Chains A and B, each alone.
Chain A
Amino acid sequence: MATATVTRQPLFSRPRPSHKGAWSWITTVDHKRIGVLYGFTAFGFFLIGGLEALLIRAQLARPNGHILNANQYDQVFTMHGLTMIFLVVMPLSAAFFNYLIPLMIGARDVAFPRLNAFSYWVFLFGGLFLYSSFLLGGAPNGGWFGYAPLSVQKVTGSVPFLHNMDYYAIGLIILGIASTVSAVNLAVTIINMRAPGMSFFRMPVFIWMAFIVQLLLVFALPVVTVALFLLLFDRILGTSFYIASNGGDPVLWQHLFWLFGHPEVYILILPAMGIVSEILPTFSRKPLFGYPVVVLSGIAIGFMGWGVWAHHMFATGLGPVANSAFAVSTMFIAVPTGVKIFNWIATMWGGRLRFDPPLLFSIGFIAMFVIGGLSGVTHSIVPSDYQQTDTYYVVAHFHYVLFGGSIFGLFAGIYYWWPKIFGRILNNRIGKWHFWLMLIGFNVTFGPFHILGLQGMPRRIYTYPANMGWDFWNMVSTIGSFMIAGSVLLFMYNAWHSRKHGEIAGNDPWDARTIEWMTTSPPPEHNFDEIPVVHALDDFWHKKYVEDKSGKLVPVPSGGATEEAEHHPEQHEEAHGGGHGIHLPSPSYMPVLAGLGLPIIGYGLIYGYYICIVGGLILLGGLYGWAFEPGTE
């Protein structure tokens, strides 16, 4: 159809498909390459955010530290938080989503390949925009939560902070655009692109969790976008939304921010929960215990996550009724989370466990997340929370759920799917060293925070006097943080080492259960020579094994699975001959061009509105080029 309409010489031509060189990566629309780009970019930011963490720990190792001054410390801890949340955990999850969703639901690509590339470039440019602030007068310095009225002020004492929080507001708006676009795309992909036979309740749990995350993103991000616009207008237009002396209300920021911020917590943790739910059955050689319950509890978390935001705000004085209501809802949301924990333990119970790094990291995830979850429940008790607010106890809590939870889960996923993505298995022995060093380093770093917090050490302070009783545990924590850094170096060595020396993976190195392991490692550009027809949950497992009369697993005689597929001749029409004749979308220059417009508009808002016109024209030109460039074929 598209060819019939393009009668004249097309205004724009599309780059030729190629697999080599920088341009092939810049113009790619292949979900797998975009996933890899997301992964490497996020890991780069992980290293930067980690260096910032080491700076923080070095500063706090001893009382009266003087490695950083107060101003620098504020920038470093703010950027550490922003980086780890918006530039590491979210995009690293997006890397898994991009790479795996089409493979796990049996699709050739996402619903909108160019939109997918656009999301990546906007994310990258948003991250660079945020970091460019270091060179342009100072990075954001009001904490990742950017509480008003501090975030609105341009001067603290005599120190001018002209643009620091402008970068915060604009940078997060840009990153929000990237995430929203990506979420719409992936939600449509999951709803609409599933292979024949893959009903919703045959989808792997990872896909379910991905789906819930996309919906949370779609509905939570616009709220914080509004909050950020109001902040931006307070700063650049001189309005007073968050300035109490002019009739505004700083608590409004907190409501809008946490109305996004609490769903965001689940946006950060649900992907890891999905990953672990894939790994545990494979490495226990048992199906996931209570699949529907795991899925439904995920959905319950997705809904209930909207009703607990004010537990971040108990100390603002909302009044006893509101505090009690949010205390109860917060205790309630622990229930579906706890259900999942029991399901994972029951999955391992009686299984034939194989303690390779993916399983180790998954168990680490469960253990650390339980600790973080329990300290989270203590926050729901309002009087106790009054004591803990703004202390290191809170810092301990969210590092146990976001590092012990999300990052451990994501590393489990990296070890698990690395062979699928790169064709080689990461070294087991180094992987185990990585795990144990990281687990110990993590607990040595963040365990003491519980004690420090209960002893009253406030968070966000750039230094502390001696004889507060905080010296010992701060030093312990700093030693732990360098252990974590060492474990990350081990991982990087492992990844480098595997390029030449990693064991060749083959299609299915773990004897796994889901259909992405049916195709080659790495998968061909078109993913599957034949789109698989799905007959059951864990379809690939059932293609490999049947139970004999006594309930023991027996491998299906080779070729059995293919014979079964033979009964569905309609699936064979297009794909014979190793994927020749499958039309894949051509690469495009337009996503990166359109994406480039956004940070330029951002700089314009700070340095002069005429620059916005340039950025706007680039964005508009990119979008028009996008709409009118010749179709895929």
Chain B
Amino acid sequence: MAQQATAVEVHQTSTGIENTKLAMWVFLGSECLLFGALISVFLLYRNHSLGGARLHDVYDIPFTSVSSFVLLMSSLTMVLALAAIQRGDQHRLRVWLLATALLGMTFISGQVYEFTIFVHKGFTVHSSVAGASFFILTSFHGAHVTVGILMLLSLFGMSTRGMLPQEKATAVEYVGLYWHFVDIVWIVIFTLVYLIPAPK
């Protein structure tokens, strides 16, 4: 948001870290507590299924593993996009930005598909608090991915119009920070919510 100002500030900050970068880190720190609270709520409620379907009755680990892998790969393409703009390679920048956005969209599509299956099998927002806390946790994460996709597409649009020269590589870096954070959160969710079985 404040890309215009950063180049001027870079020599003036007390710590030497750019303001926008520092702000992104502080914001991500705040986000840790947001997801921390949501994950805690899920862990608290995952056995509260009132005799209805539980997550472990309906999920499909191989499918979700693939979509998790897709999201992980998008971190790789994000790094490649940053490397491209730092070299001044606009063409590759666009390729990797678009690839990252597409991988993100694939993940979101997978999530929508997965949700549909779960609902058909009777695991819904209304079936139990276990269901509700699962859907709210994963939708918050999905919303974060969606915001990330919007930012990636905006960067892509800026690049095609020549509004993203090499000096503005920091803009890609900051979106990248956010994107990697959202990926890491998914790793935590996938591990805690899907892989570790709920104690009886």
The proximity string for A residues 170-191 relative to B, scoring 1 for CB distances below 8 Å and 0 otherwise, is 0000000000100011011001
Query: Interface segment, A87-95, A219-227, A468-476?
Result: A219-227
Contact pick for B22, options A192, A222, A238, A627, CB 8 Å: A192
Chain B contributes a number of interface residues (CB within 8 A of A) equal to: 45
CA–CA, A93 and B71, complex, Å: 42
Q: Is A187 a contact of B44 with CB atoms below 8 Å?
A: no
CA–CA, A624 and B2, complex, Å: 12
CA–CA, A250 and B129, complex, Å: 12
CA–CA, A223 and B38, complex, Å: 9
Residues of B near A237 (CB, < 8 A) are: 125
A239 close to chain B: CB less than 8 A: yes
B120 close to chain A: CB less than 8 A: no
Chain A nearest CB, measured from B53 CB (Å): 13
CA–CA, A221 and B36, complex, Å: 12
A192-B15, A218-B26, A240-B132 known; A632 vs B4 contact (CB < 8 Å) = yes
A-B contact count (CB 8 A): 125
Q: Is B14 a contact of A115 with CB atoms below 8 Å?
A: no
Residues of A near B27 (CB, < 8 A) are: 184, 218
The proximity string for B residues 79-92 relative to A, scoring 1 for CB distances below 8 Å and 0 otherwise, is 00000000000000
Chain A nearest CB, measured from B60 CB (Å): 24
The proximity string for A residues 451-475 relative to B, scoring 1 for CB distances below 8 Å and 0 otherwise, is 0000000000000000000000000
Chain A nearest CB, measured from B68 CB (Å): 23
Residues of B near A252 (CB, < 8 A) are: 41, 44
The proximity string for A residues 243-268 relative to B, scoring 1 for CB distances below 8 Å and 0 otherwise, is 00011110010001001000000000
17 A-B contacts (beta carbon < 8 Å) = A2-B4, A112-B5, A114-B1, A115-B1, A188-B19, A193-B19, A233-B132, A238-B125, A239-B136, A241-B132, A247-B50, A252-B44, A585-B5, A624-B154, A626-B1, A627-B1, A628-B163
Q: Which residue of B lies closest to A629 (CB)?
A: B4
Q: Is A111 a contact of B30 with CB atoms below 8 Å?
A: no
Q: Which residue of B lies closest to A248 (CB)?
A: B129
What's the dominant secondary structure at chain B's contact region? helix
CA–CA, A624 and B158, complex, Å: 12
A623 close to chain B: CB less than 8 A: yes
Residues of B near A159 (CB, < 8 A) are: none
Residues of A near B1 (CB, < 8 A) are: 112, 114-115, 623, 626-627
CA–CA, A248 and B5, complex, Å: 48
Q: Which residue of B lies closest to A630 (CB)?
A: B4
Chain B nearest CB, measured from A116 CB (Å): 11
Q: Is A191 a contact of B15 with CB atoms below 8 Å?
A: yes
B100 close to chain A: CB less than 8 A: no
Q: Which residue of B lies closest to A217 (CB)?
A: B30
The proximity string for B residues 6-50 relative to A, scoring 1 for CB distances below 8 Å and 0 otherwise, is 011000111101010011001101110110111001001100111
CA–CA, A624 and B155, complex, Å: 12
CA–CA, A194 and B1, complex, Å: 22
Chain A contributes a number of interface residues (CB within 8 A of B) equal to: 51
A631 close to chain B: CB less than 8 A: yes
Q: Is B129 a contact of A241 with CB atoms below 8 Å?
A: yes
Q: Which residue of A lies closest to B39 (CB)?
A: A226
Residues of B near A7 (CB, < 8 A) are: 162
A158 close to chain B: CB less than 8 A: no
B133 close to chain A: CB less than 8 A: yes
A1 close to chain B: CB less than 8 A: yes
Q: Is B48 a contact of A226 with CB atoms below 8 Å?
A: no
B128 close to chain A: CB less than 8 A: yes
Q: Which residue of A lies closest to B2 (CB)?
A: A112
Interface positions, chain B 100-149, Cβ under 8 Å from A, are: 125-126, 128-130, 132-133, 136
Residues of A near B133 (CB, < 8 A) are: 241
Q: Is A222 a contact of B31 with CB atoms below 8 Å?
A: yes
A229 close to chain B: CB less than 8 A: yes
Residues of B near A219 (CB, < 8 A) are: 29-30, 33
CA–CA, A457 and B26, complex, Å: 45
Q: A114-B1, A219-B30, A631-B4 are in contact. List 5 more A-B contacts (CB 8 A).
A: A112-B1, A115-B2, A188-B22, A239-B136, A241-B41
Q: Is A222 a contact of B23 with CB atoms below 8 Å?
A: no
CA–CA, A111 and B30, complex, Å: 18
CA–CA, A112 and B5, complex, Å: 9
Contact pick for A239, options B50, B126, B165, CB 8 Å: B126
Contact pick for A1, options B37, B163, B167, CB 8 Å: B167
Among A187, A247, A623, which residue has the most Cβ atoms of chain B within 10 A?
A247
Chain B nearest CB, measured from A200 CB (Å): 9
Residues of B near A632 (CB, < 8 A) are: 4-5
